[in-house]
A and B are shown apart, each in its own frame.
Chain A
Amino acid sequence: MIEQFGRAGFLLLFAVAFPLLPIVASVVLGVFKIRPRKPDPVKESIYECGMVPIGNAQVRYNVRYYVFGLLFVIFDVEAVFLYPWAVTYRQLGLYAFVEVVLFLGILFVGYAYAWRKGAMEWK
């Protein structure tokens, strides 16, 4: 198994080198003055359709995102439990089926509650 992951690691090395290559080429072009570099305050400011930006952009955002994040965590943790079950399902038989129906049933109650409460609306 570790041998297989090692091979994926080789590809990861190449995958990191792949985007680095054009970036380095671009930097080299800059060193040889082929690529222009004439900074001025307007070019270095934030683009906001010609306006001078007011305040920092790294601000707090809408609470909706947190509600969606919570829902996501619930379902994703559920998926973590379901995948091992799915792979070994053929050996487990009827018992596993009943258990998962119960598991998904409980989840479904929560899902219906979240829907009823409007957690899935984007307002």
Chain B
Amino acid sequence: MTGALLTIITDNWWDIRDLSNLSGAIRDLVSDAGGPGWLVYVVAGLLGAAGIVTFVGVTAIINIWIERRVVGRMQSRLGPNRPGPVGLLQPLADAIKLMQKEVLQPKLADALVFTAAPIAFTVPGIAVLAVVPWGRNMTLASLDAGIVFIFAMSSLAALAVFIGGYGSNNKYALFGSMRVIAMLVTYEIPIVMSLLGIAMFAGTMNLDGIVRFQEDHWLFLIMLQPLAFVIYFMSSSAELNRTPADLAEAESEIAGGYHVEYSGMKFGLYYAAELINCVTVSAIIATLFLGGWWAYKLDEIVPGWMIYIGKVYAVYFLFIWTRGTLPRFRIDQLLAFAWKWMTPMALVNVLMVAAEVLIWEETGWSAGVLLPIYVVLNNALALALIVAWVRVFAPRFERFPDRPRFYSTIDVPSLPAVAPVQPGTQSQ
């Protein structure tokens, strides 16, 4: 068995299509050595968990560089370029700097909560990755309540932010944490409602099952559920506290919000956990809407986990893009947007999907006929609802813009000609 293990590592190390390829060899090694059943289970579980945590650690380090470089590019600046070639060693420099900084902790802060908050903020983002399938049969925990597990974990992160801000006994931090709670309770609703449609189409909350549904019916769920994708993407970017909706830290208004009192490695954890949570949400979107590890015929040539990570980074790029280009919302706008547009739209989406699945089940028509119709129908509905909402609720100047949209159309009045002043003729 050691031979088989070595062959896998040396010959096609990249090809871990199935957890049973690599970890199965190790598992066999344990059972051949006469280990009991529970030992095999523990070894398999630890292997998978170690793999996921390694991925998380590496992405957190790489993403510091990617995010700053890409945002820099979008905003016509360079981004980090001093440490190492094209600034590649920047994450290392950041980590060393943060670790050896003096840790300041206010006397009045609640010491236990103050320390526990950054740790509690990091845990949920990693734990969610247990339920996402990384490839065919490559899920660590294939839970039947997968989507509910995701909701349960992702709300914990906002709670951690709140206790950190409240525990630091700072008024800016309190503002930040209260904003987090307001945004959490507001955006949790559209997030929960938008994924109902997916559970209905797939008939399961198991993420493996959802990917299998997409594979069986030869489509990505983003085609069937464009409205849900828009709602989920916007809401989760609000829940992640990323720039279009980073009211909780809003460094120009409340001086950093919930992490204003943090320094050293505890601040570094907040920073890293934000990137990890963003990758986690990208992973969820890639699984639920973009087919996970499945990509038409591509997954027969390329290992599924490579396709999957590619999709995760494609979604992550969208998050960086919104961060690099959009200004921050005002809190009343952000909350009104969730209550007055996202929630009713998500409910409309649920009813639409309910009617569609009902027709599918009752008439017994084949999916090949019905699903393309649904794709067209749902895309048209999503577009119509978005346009209608802008027409009805957007401020007047956005509905009927009377200001010029492009510089070339601005009519600059030419300045009146001024006679050149003759030296010596100026009045005293």
Contacts and interface: CB of A to CB of B under 8 A. Distances in A.
B26 interface: no
B169 A46 contact: yes
DSSP majority for the B interface? helix
B142 A4 contact: yes
DSSP majority for the A interface? helix
Contact of B141 (A5, A15, A46): A5
B261 interface: yes
Contacts of B205: 83, 87
A108 B264 contact: no
A104 interface: yes
A75 B103 contact: no
Contact of B265 (A5, A25, A57, A65): A25
Contacts of A52: none
A123 to B, nearest CB: 8
A10 B169 CA distance: 35
Contact of A20 (B119, B170, B350): B119
Contacts, number: 229
Contact of A12 (B123, B142, B331): B123
Interface stretch (B182-190, B236-244, B291-299, B413-421): B182-190
B390 interface: no
B45 A10 contact: yes
A44 B123 contact: no
Which of A17, A25, A47 counts the most chain B CB atoms within 10 A?
A: A47
21 contacts: A7-B130, A11-B127, A11-B130, A14-B126, A15-B53, A15-B122, A15-B126, A16-B119, A18-B53, A23-B266, A47-B106, A48-B171, A57-B168, A57-B169, A64-B182, A65-B181, A69-B185, A86-B199, A94-B358, A97-B355, A122-B335
- Give the 3 A-B CB pairs with smallest separation, nearest first: A72-B185, A122-B332, A15-B126
Interface of A: 1, 3-20, 22-23, 25-26, 29-30, 34-38, 43-49, 53, 56-59, 61-62, 64-65, 68-69, 71-72, 75-76, 79, 82-83, 86-87, 89-90, 93-94, 97, 100-101, 104, 107-108, 111, 115, 120-123
